[in-house]
Amino acid sequence: MNYDLNKLNKEQQKTSTLAGLKKLLQLIAHEKRTLVIALIAILVNSTLNLLGPLIIGHTIDTYVQHKDYSGVIHNAILLLCMYLVALFTSYSQTTLMGGVGQRMLFTLRNSIFNKLQQLPVGFFNQNKAGDLISRVNNDTDKLNQFFSQSLMQFIGNISIMVGAGIFLLIIKFDLGAATLSPAVLIVLLTLVLSPWIRRKNALNLKSVGGMSSEIQESLHNFKVIIAFNRRDYFRKRFEKANRDNYKTAIGAGLVSNVFIPVYGLFASIAQLIVLAFGIYLISIGQFSIGILMTYLLYATNFYNPLRQLAALWTNFQLAMAGWDRISQILSLETDLPLVQNGITEHGAGLLEFRNVHFGYTEDREVLHNISFRLEQGKTYALVGPTGGGKTTTASLIARLYDPSKGLVMLDGKDIRTYSPEERAQKIGFILQEPFLFTGSVKENILYGNDLYKDYTNEQLEKVIKDANLGSLLAIFESGLETPVASGGDGISLGQKQLIAFMRAVLRNPQVLILDEATANIDTITEKLLSDILDKLPETTTRVIIAHRLNTIENADEIFFVNSGEVTRAGSLNDAMDMLLQGKRVS
């Protein structure tokens, strides 16, 4: 399945502003009470702002012109009180919406992270970690900014505009219509330009993701970069990503800023219309100075928010572009679903591949029509040249992927019928490059193991000794409390493999897969591991992938994996011949 977020097909990419907005609103649906209070606050604020020009006009015509200063002072105090209440409502709505935005950000980041936890290995093969981090951090923040800062401003501005527009039309309809006509052009222009702005913003967010991937890759591989003196190479790559980001940011900024001067121009034209027409109306006795003042203030009240709406609209487009990138992740489903009514067979082997085909991508098949069967309690070895398909076969045993054709049976049932927990309990997989978390040896050993999670060190040490793993633990200076640094970088690769080995064995799986698990371990420790493997419960089936043939000399059966085909190799000597000749016997 295609999981590459930057190459989704049209169907996967299809998003509409309305549908996106609807889904987004669901995220804050439980905030109804806060939203209603914030809405009331902003409407009160707009109303107070709209009453201002009326009172000012009335003061000029009634009190200023008749030199009634007590009336002027009275209205001035009234205006001051109104502006203070407006300030309070504005502060309240900002604080309330700030909280809504932060809570939404929290939920959204959790949802994306949870979704990432559910997606299959194929998704992570096809996407760069840096880009995903950028989506979780940066794109969600764009949404937060819109919700916490822009949404209520948006509503407030629209209500002021609508109110001001109504007053303009009521006071004098023909002048009102002339004053509002530039706004119609602005709305049309906005509608035409919006998709373009959204596209430009999406490109910009994508380039931020690209830059983040470059940083992640170079930080992750810093040892190789230094060892190969490739700093210049990565510097150039980063410079290119940074330049791409710079260009897309300039592009997005340019299109976004196109509105601001255009809006300004239209607002000025509207004011000119009011002034010219208003002065004419005064000259023919239809308007008073106070009404002209009120009119001018309403025109400003109409066009100022419109100008701000341009900026808010840009924020909205940016938030929607961010939301598109986020919802691309949220809408993905795992291609490893739980199958309810899979085949169940008695008497099947513990594990069986039936005519399995598999490819990481649709255009290249890696495993071709593989069939084999593993019995309980036996030891199997997979040998073969590099790139032959051993790890891929093991990955299908652990259901990191599903076959494109064919079936994998585990313990008499289609492997797809097991829940991830059941499967992880039955299958232990020690990867070629085990990953350790920051913490202690104990925390890493107990990772994913609920059975011993509350054990004290003494209890756990006893369990480890009983599982014949004591000699491995003794290799670590401070035993269970030996610290492990981020990604396990503070300890050797061999030691990592030992921890991964203890982690897998303590779960007591039915099938234990060791993928080159002893490749970085000295001969004496390797012998220790071999003894431990021999002492595993009789029911444990072992699948050992190894390049060094001495590690598999005790295997009950050897499979030769080459060019995506799996065949029985017969004896160790036969396997050796096949490896040396690079071909298989039929």
Cβ within 8 Å of residue 444, ≥6 positions away: 436, 437, 484, 488, 499, 503
By CB under 6 A, is residue 6 in contact with ligand ATP?
no
The DSSP element (H or E) to which 409 belongs, if any, is strand 405-410
Residues 347 and 360: their CA atoms lie apart, in Å, by 32
Q: Chain-centre distance of CA 434, in angstroms?
A: 24
Residues 218 and 224: their CA atoms lie apart, in Å, by 9
Answer whether 389's CB lies under 8 Å from 377's CB.
no
DSSP string covering 464-514, please? Answer: HHHTT-HHHHTTSTTGGG-EE-GGGTTS-HHHHHHHHHHHHHHT--SEEEE
Q: Measured from the CB atom, is 298 or 560 closer to ligand ATP?
A: 560
**In what side-by-side order are the strands of the sheet with 405-410?**
367-374, 351-358, 405-410, 413-414
Site stretch for ligand ATP (CB under 6 A), options 179-187, 201-209, 229-237, 387-395: 387-395
- Which residue from 195, 261, 337, 387 is in contact with ligand ATP, where contact means CB under 6 A? 387
By CB under 6 A, is residue 434 in contact with ligand ATP?
no
Q: What's at 72, amino acid-wise?
A: V
DSSP state of 433: S
Backbone CA torsion sign across 381, 386, 388, 389: positive
Interacting positions 115-134 with ligand ATP (CB under 6 A): 125
Three-state SS string across 194-206, please? Answer: HHHHHHHHHHHHH
By CB under 6 A, is residue 389 in contact with ligand ATP?
yes
Using CB under 6 A, count the residues that bind ligand ATP.
12
Site stretch for ligand ATP (CB under 6 A), options 2-10, 189-197, 213-221, 388-396: 388-396
Interacting positions 123-182 with ligand ATP (CB under 6 A): 125
By CB under 6 A, is residue 584 in contact with ligand ATP?
no
By CB under 6 A, is residue 390 in contact with ligand ATP?
yes
Please, what is the minimum distance in Å from the beta carbon of residue 395 to ligand ATP? 7
Please, what is the minimum distance in Å from the beta carbon of residue 392 to ligand ATP? 3
Answer whether 169's CB lies under 8 Å from 310's CB.
no
Interacting positions 554-583 with ligand ATP (CB under 6 A): 561
Q: Measured from the CB atom, is 212 or 391 closer to ligand ATP?
A: 391
Q: Measured from the CB atom, is 386 or 478 closer to ligand ATP?
A: 386
Structure tokens at 375: 């019995």
Please, what is the minimum distance in Å from the beta carbon of residue 186 to ligand ATP? 51
Nearest 5°: phi and psi at 402? -105, 150
Q: Measured from the CB atom, is 360 or 455 closer to ligand ATP?
A: 360
Number of neighbouring beta carbons within 10 Å of residue 375: 13
Interacting positions 51-70 with ligand ATP (CB under 6 A): none
Site string for ligand ATP, 328-367 (x = CB under 6 A): --------------------------------x-----x-
Cβ within 8 Å of residue 266, ≥6 positions away: 182, 183, 185, 186, 303, 306
Q: Measured from the CB atom, is 146 or 560 closer to ligand ATP?
A: 560
Please, what is the minimum distance in Å from the beta carbon of residue 452 to ligand ATP? 31
Radius of gyration of the chain (CA): 35
By CB under 6 A, is residue 497 in contact with ligand ATP?
no
- Which residue from 57, 156, 388, 434 is in contact with ligand ATP, where contact means CB under 6 A? 388
Site stretch for ligand ATP (CB under 6 A), options 144-152, 258-266, 381-389, 462-470: 381-389
By CB under 6 A, is residue 403 in contact with ligand ATP?
no
Q: Measured from the CB atom, is 283 or 386 closer to ligand ATP?
A: 386
Q: Measured from the CB atom, is 379 or 391 closer to ligand ATP?
A: 391
Binding site for ligand ATP (CB under 6 A): 125, 360, 366, 384, 386-392, 561
